[in-house]
Amino acid sequence: MKAIATKGARDVRATGALELIDADIAEPDGYDLRVRIEAISVNPVDTKVRAGALGPLDEAKILGWDAVGRVEAVGDHAAGFAVGDRVYYAGQVDRPGCNAEQQLVDSRLVAHAPASLEIEESAAMPLTGLTAWEGLFDQLQLTADPKAHSEETLLVINGAGGVGSSVIQLARQLTGLTVIATASRPQSVEWCRELGAHEVIDHHDLINEFQATGRDTADYIFNCHDIGVHWENMVTLIRPLGRIVAIAETEHQVDLNALQPKAASFSWEFMFARALHGYHIERQGEILAELATLLDEGRLRSTLGEVIGPLNVENLTRAHEQLEAGHTTGKLVLTAMR
């Protein structure tokens, strides 16, 4: 099969950054499905792995951890799926990704794609939807009940990004939280409001902007930006015994002691952790099924921002460039290789 792989490069236009390759694809065994890819989305993890975040690559690596496709073949232990089913999933960072014609994926990480969405809309959702869900319900340990947390406030730092866009929606649909999101450009402010944020504030003057809404502190903070940049803001804005979740490692030194006087908590959300460590990985298939239901019911909307075009080296390079430049609103999606 054809695939697009990287040998690693900080600059996406450098030689070896993204190249068309021929790769083998096996019959699935065990829990695996073989899927023919119909649409994919890109995420910061793609550009980070390409640029060397996991260290030098021994061999060309196929990136891509957001896919929609048709099941072509089913392993012996892969229950719940049949040839021809349309599925969606994020997959595993330590296996070949979905920037390819076909992919093997553990069926426990997979759900049927939302029936009512276009494939491009579904492709935008798995990785960020899982991250938002796990962050809210596994890490912040919120209760999924529209009457729960109705006296409490969630601050979403970088609300218009891929994860933030799902956090805002899930918090509004599944809890009674008041949601305050950060955004600074008119387009991203409007995007956060459409997704359901009660208030949108500018992250460049976060403490004053937050407190101008009439609150001293937030009960919960979901930080979708670099924690080092916002560490002191979070120390100031988290309430006593409050809880913070974050998704992005930092190159800044952070002073963990600073959270002690408030007896606050800090959690990492890392969507690949379950599969990487073999810890209840079936939970990700269950969450994706719940997200599909919410999407089909119209309670969530896809965070698709732009369809770049079919998956080829030039389009994928442009997608990486746009991600690395920042300021994307919603997700970037590519359709099947051709």
The residues of the shown chain that bind a second copy, judged by CB under 8 A, are: 134, 138-139, 141, 227, 239-241, 249-250, 253-254, 256-257, 259-270, 273-274, 276-277, 279
Q: Residues 6 or more apart from 302 whose CB is under 8 A from it?
A: 117, 121, 122, 124, 125, 295
Q: Cβ 188 to a second copy, closest distance in Å?
A: 26
Nearer to a second copy, 122 or 139 (CB): 139
Q: What single-letter amino acid sits at 39?
A: A
Q: How far apart are CA 92 and CA 4, in angstroms?
A: 17
Q: Cβ 52 to a second copy, closest distance in Å?
A: 16
Nearer to a second copy, 131 or 315 (CB): 131
Q: How far apart are CA 100 and CA 91, in angstroms?
A: 14
Q: How far apart are CA 233 and CA 227, in angstroms?
A: 10
Nearer to a second copy, 250 or 322 (CB): 250
Q: What single-letter amino acid sits at 74?
A: V
Record the tokens describing residue 182, joined without a space: 């950060």
Q: Cβ 255 to a second copy, closest distance in Å?
A: 9
- Give, in order, the Cα–Cα distances in Å from 146 to each of 87, 141, 159, 173, 297: 28, 15, 20, 7, 16
Nearer to a second copy, 101 or 226 (CB): 226
**Burial state string for 278-315 with b = 16 or more CB within 10 A and e = fewer than 16:** eeebebbbebbebbbebbeeeebbbbbbebbeebbeeb
Nearer to a second copy, 53 or 79 (CB): 53
Nearer to a second copy, 242 or 330 (CB): 242
For CA atoms 116, 121, 125, 128, the dihedral sign is negative
- Phi, psi (5° rounding) for residue 205? -140, 60
Residue 311 in contact with residue 34, Cβ under 8 Å?
A: no
Q: How far apart are CA 211 and CA 38, in angstroms?
A: 46
Q: Cβ 252 to a second copy, closest distance in Å?
A: 10
Q: Cβ 131 to a second copy, closest distance in Å?
A: 10
Q: Cβ 94 to a second copy, closest distance in Å?
A: 11
Nearer to a second copy, 121 or 269 (CB): 269
Q: Cβ 9 to a second copy, closest distance in Å?
A: 23
Q: What single-letter amino acid sits at 112?
A: H
